[in-house]
Amino acid sequence: MKVLKFGGTSVGDPNRIKKLYEIISSQSAGRKMIVLSAVSGTTNSLISIAESFKNEEKEEAIRQINSLHQFYNAFIEQLFTAQNLKQSAQEVVKKHFDLLKGFANDLFTSAEEKVILAQGELISTFLFQLYLQEIGVKSVLLSAFDFMRINEDGEPEYDYIKTNLNTLLNAHAEEVLFITQGYICRNAFGQEDNLRRGGSDYSASLIGAAVNADEIQIWTDIDGLHNNDPRFVNETKPIRFLSFNQAAELAYFGAKILHPQSIYPAQKNNIPVRLLNTLNPGANGTLITNSEIPEKVIVAVAAKDGITAIRIKSSRMLMTYGFLRKIFEVFERYKTPIDMITTSEVAVSLTIDNNNNLDEITKELSHYGDISINVNQTIVCVVGDFRSDTHGHVCIVLDALKHLPIRMISYGGSNYNISLLIPDNQKVEALRALHNRLF
């Protein structure tokens, strides 16, 4: 089986939805699982609707719901030719929007918010299956709520997913084409939940692992991972091959095409991941495998914004043990991951990308030393093959950025990246300087 995930831009308008089957049918014979995101822009609209309900701006929420409903009615008019299918689509979609309007009469909590955010994927998968019906293609729509589940810590329950998904597939043993939703799931309490933003990639990888897929394909609107951010740097190029380790670094440190968590299930099960472009299906894209790619020592640059740097300076660190454990326990209590860390004999500098509990964290850390905070920082990550038998690459990177202020450097924690912390307003200059020097 192949797993094909199509992102929001790939289903962004009726014409693109009509072209999906051309891509699907061009694949080699065998079973296929199609994982769809919400139509482009829908999730942002749903987030805005949820925010309006949360702020008790019910009239504004209803206005936004009606506007989005009108968008989908126009979408349906363009997608379908048969009048009976147009009517069926409008009736089902109306039920989704009536559900949204019903939240104006209820107490609004995070549980209701997650129900709202699920509607985009439920609508896109329904419309796609109905379109396949119109063109005479048989398919089975599987609800992600019937097999995709996370535990109390928000982590996927792999055994549950594998058992329940394969049970559903075995119940349709003669069928070859399946459709399901990305992003959405149930939580440990059976409530509707999600895998967070970008989670459709994660859904595809989890599904691929559960069915031991031959390949996972992530279809977006760009020809694979590029060696720099094409939004800021001219003449970037797609990377033909990547190892999972390199792709994981790029995804975590800012490459927007791939969700950071989507790498692990595929890597663990040795399933190739191919990144492809729905707007240019003939492009090679990027193939990610467990093989180490010797093609180039330095393969790409990425950047992660919204970083906060925290420095804890204390003479009590000198010649003592247990100090770092106490520091890490503070972040653990507030469930705040650390991105980078550097240490000296009397100071620790580290970075986080979630400031929700920054005041509380700072207060607790102040018991251990003097604290300084720098917000509005960016991590620039240079990804490649930096094993101990290679040399000279750090010098090249630092030489490219010698005219810019560097707050922290992390090297050696991984064989695959050099990370540097700079002010946000220097990001574009850093990306361009590195591109000119490295590529």
Which residues does the annotation place in the binding site for substrate? 43, 121
For the record, the structure tokens of 77 come out as: 């008019």
* Closest to 188 (Cα-Cα) out of 159, 153, 162: 153
* Closest to 71 (Cα-Cα) out of 114, 124, 116: 124
Give one DSSP letter per residue of 323-355, joined into a string. Answer: HHHHHHHHHHHTT-----EEE-SSEEEEEES--
Cβ burial 175-186 (10 Å sphere, 16+ → b, else e): eebbbbbbbbbb
Is the CB of residue 236 less than 8 Å from the CB of residue 286?
Answer: no
CA distance 161 to 139: 21
Binding positions are 5-8, 43, 121, 220-221, 231
Considering only CA atoms, give the Rg of the chain. 24
Residue 237, CA atoms < 13 Å, CB-side half-sphere: 8
In sequence order, the 6+-apart residues with CB closer than 8 A to the CB of 416 are 243, 245, 246, 249, 383, 384, 385, 386
Q: How many CB atoms lie within 10 A of CB 324?
A: 14
CA distance 246 to 265: 15
Q: Is 369 left (phi over 0), alpha (psi -120 to 50) or beta?
A: left
Binding positions for ATP are 5-8, 220-221, 231
Residue 292 Cα distances to 3, 239, 241, 248, angstroms: 23, 14, 9, 13
CA distance 386 to 69: 51
